[in-house]
């Protein structure tokens, strides 16, 4: 083994050639680290077939092959950094290049958008059930206790500002006015008169206020609703009177803003909260999800119902709309049995799952749970309490602990994807990266014990 030396103590000259001994030396060093363990744990061929990836026979050769595209998604969550920083790290980190299956040599990647382009490509091809089945089939020898599961739900928040009625209305006014000016400039006509500049100054003054009273809020809301309605009317007249060739994104955003106006008009005049309330003009698929926590009563992002088998997490249901996780108990049991091809005998869940229907279902199929008993104690109450305590401890430590680990260490604290599909892919690969590292460490321990 060579001695580690500092640059200022020798005449430094490195040779990163493709000779066999050099490649094996660096690759074996790569496999010893956590990133190498993830690389060894992932069934690349099965994932490539599941996603339906292939190299094009015609045209220029892509920098990243089918395996490299998948590896780049795992690498992003392992590195826990932005797309630009990931490409910069990839240029100078030999281990990252080994993981993605490329050798840059003296070249550098300068296209920082390549990560988001690959993410958009994979998001259209993601089938979570098939991918999770392929992963479990490969990892099943290292997963014990397939007959016992624990389940719980969490929310992976999106990167959005905290929505208020005033912020949402002002963003709608600002975008609509910007489009109005651009269209009038392209058509060579005068921009219709509005009070946009006046209310821009007043909105800035309002945002600087430390104490925003109810009268100030209602005054601003009333004015922004009137201003937004006027700008929308002007845009409608321009669209009807001229043959505008606008992109699909424009009409989609216009429809979103019209829906926002209708919802805010209802809130202002009736005080009723509309169903399907939009909280962001850029992410119209997000909905408020009430979690009931002291610090964060409402969250905005993807709500995920997960189940865990021997410390490995799998997604049962992912939705951007609020849902009652207690109603997912049966579906979770059935999905776990289809995945493992084993009858579930133990199931751990918190009190929100302990409905009468779920209790009857568990009794019918002889599934032991940690639900609090109703009625008189049975003959083996002491043993039942001991087993329930063990199931509760497993759920409270490993499953709920994995939520925080994924959010803090695998880039799931704030999801910065911009579409519904890419945000779903982001959450999925973050969870599976944590799983792959756990499986890789088990593989390394098994090899060490065998040796």
pLDDT in tens, 50-72: 999 988 777 777 889 999 999 99
Query: What is the C-alpha to C-alpha distance for residues 196 and 184, in angstroms, rounded to an integer?
Result: 16
Write down the pLDDT at residue 315: 97
What sign does the CA torsion over 47, 52, 58, 62 have? negative
Q: What is the pLDDT of residue 165?
A: 94
Torsion sign across C-alpha atoms 105, 97, 424, 401: negative
Tokens of 119: 């993410």
Dihedral of alpha carbons 338, 40, 67, 109, sign: positive
CA 9 to mean position of chain CA atoms: 47
- Give residues with Cβ within 8 angstroms of 329, minimum separation 6: 151, 347, 349, 353, 355, 358, 361
pLDDT of res. 77: 96
pLDDT the model gives residue 26: 82
Q: What is the DSSP letter of 158?
A: B
The domains of the chain are located at: 17-123, 128-160+299-450, 165-270
Structure tokens at 244: 């505008």
Residues of the chain short of pLDDT 50, as ranges, are 1, 7
Q: What is the DSSP string of 205-258?
A: HHHH-SS--HHHHHHHHHHHHHHHHHHHHHHHHHHHHS-----HHHHHHHHHHH
Task: Measure the CA–CA gap between 262 and 146, rounded to whole angstroms.
Answer: 50
Q: Distance of alpha carbon 137 from its chain centroid, rounded? A: 24
CA distance 144 to 437: 17
Q: What is the pLDDT, as a whole number, of residue 8?
A: 56
What local confidence, expressed as pLDDT, does residue 167 receive?
94
């Amino acid at each position: 083994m060579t001695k580690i030396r500092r640059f200022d103590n020798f005449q430094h000259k490195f040779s990163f050639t493709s000779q066999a001994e050099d490649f094996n030396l660096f690759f074996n060093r790569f496999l010893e680290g956590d990133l190498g363990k993830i690389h060894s744990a992932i069934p690349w061929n099965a994932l490539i077939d599941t996603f339906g990836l292939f190299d094009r026979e015609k045209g220029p050769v892509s920098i990243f092959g089918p395996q490299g595209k998948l590896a780049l998604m795992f690498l992003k969550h392992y590195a826990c950094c932005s797309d630009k920083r990931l490409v910069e790290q990839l240029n100078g980190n030999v281990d990252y290049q080994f993981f993605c299956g490329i050798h840059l040599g003296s070249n550098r990647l300068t296209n920082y958008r390549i990560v988001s382009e690959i993410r958009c490509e994979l998001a259209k091809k993601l089938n979570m059930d098939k991918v999770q089945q392929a992963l479990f089939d490969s990892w099943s020898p290292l997963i014990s206790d397939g007959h016992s599961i624990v389940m719980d739900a969490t929310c992976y928040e999106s990167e959005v500002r905290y929505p208020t009625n005033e912020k949402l209305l002002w963003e709608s006014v600002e975008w609509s006015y910007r489009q109005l000016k651009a269209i009038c400039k392209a058509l060579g006509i005068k921009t219709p008169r509005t009070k946009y500049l006046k209310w821009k100054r007043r909105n800035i003054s309002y945002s600087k206020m430390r104490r925003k009273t109810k009268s100030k809020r209602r005054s601003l809301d009333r004015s922004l609703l009137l201003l937004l309605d006027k700008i929308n009317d002007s845009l409608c007249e321009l669209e009807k009177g001229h043959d505008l060739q606008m992109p699909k994104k424009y009409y989609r955003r216009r429809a979103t803003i019209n829906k926002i106006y209708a919802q805010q008009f209802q809130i202002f005049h009736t005080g009723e909260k509309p169903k399907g309330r939009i909280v962001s003009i850029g992410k119209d698929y997000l909905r408020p999800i009430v979690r009931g926590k002291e610090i964060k009563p409402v969250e905005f992002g993807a709500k995920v119902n997960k189940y865990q088998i021997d410390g490995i997490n799998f997604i049962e249901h992912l939705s951007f709309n609020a849902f009652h996780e207690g109603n997912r108990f049966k579906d979770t049991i059935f999905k776990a049995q289809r995945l493992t091809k084993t009858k579930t005998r133990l199931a751990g869940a918190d009190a929100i799952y302990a409905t009468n229907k779920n209790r009857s279902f568990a009794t019918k199929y002889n599934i032991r749970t940690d639900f609090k008993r109703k009625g008189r104690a049975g003959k083996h109450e002491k043993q039942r309490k001991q087993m329930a305590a063990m199931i509760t401890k497993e759920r409270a430590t490993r499953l709920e602990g994995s939520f925080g680990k994924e959010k803090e260490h695998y880039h799931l604290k704030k999801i910065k994807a911009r579409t519904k599909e890419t945000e779903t892919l982001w959450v999925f690969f973050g969870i599976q990266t944590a799983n792959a590292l756990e499986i890789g460490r088990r593989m390394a321990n098994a090899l060490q014990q065998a040796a």
